Structure 1
Amino acid sequence: EEFNEQAPLLAASPELYPAFSANYLPDGGPVKLGQVLRQADLAGTFAEIAAKGPDHLYRGALGERIVGHLSGLGGKMNMADLAAVQPRWREPHAVSYRGLDIHVPPPPCEAFQFLLSLKILEGFDLGGLS
């Protein structure tokens, strides 16, 4: 649904829409409920990173391709920006829901609201509802 909502907005940007459409609107869109989104280029990129390591992105050819693409769109990111990235681990938030452990990313991700909803629902006999 989100892709379908954004498509008309991005269609007004000829520099952005072709890539958006190719990646997120299989067969030209709109996306249908239950449709499988296959992104062969993204899968290939992940395979490259897995084979060549993170420096392929942060200091290597993949980073250079990204910086070049963004520069062509008027962006200002450079290789020094990528090289300066310092990921850090943050413990996920977790709750138990009906015997299952549910883990979500911590804030600033808003997934904690999902955990709150599950804990509220746990107090109800959902199976007994029509």
Structure 2
Amino acid sequence: MTKCYCNSQNSFEACCEPYIKGIKKAPTAEALMRSRYSAYATHQADYLVETTHVSQRALYSKEDILLWATSNQWQKLEVLNVTPTTVEFKAYYLDKAKKQHIHHEFSTFAQEDGIWYYVDGEYH
């Protein structure tokens, strides 16, 4: 059993993996954000593209997403604040030089036809 990358204290198999594999749809913006973090940690670029809102997909290439995911060692996710359509979080990671970074973001999400999508983020 692998502990989930999103820091939920659940197993990956019971937490984010069913969303990433397309077995289930994320029920909330927070669940989608957590699964997207886990997708970065497990290099699942297809899922990251698919869960980006169609209005924003042209801004993110699968190749760039995969490069960002694989260039960093994802260490920890900290969810700071959640509303029905926004999630503030800090993602901790090491770059190729093993330098510690914190990605602090206010993410916005939208639900269409019962499916949640990442729209955009404001970085701090």
Verify same fold: TM over 0.5.
no
TM bucket, shorter chain:
under 0.3
Kindly indicate which of the two structures has a greater share of residues assigned to helix.
1
Structure with greater Cα Rg = 1
Kindly indicate which of the two structures has a greater share of residues assigned to strand.
2
User: TM-score by structure 1 length?
Assistant: 0.22
Higher RCO (Cα < 8 Å, 6 or more apart): 2
User: TM-score by structure 2 length?
Assistant: 0.22
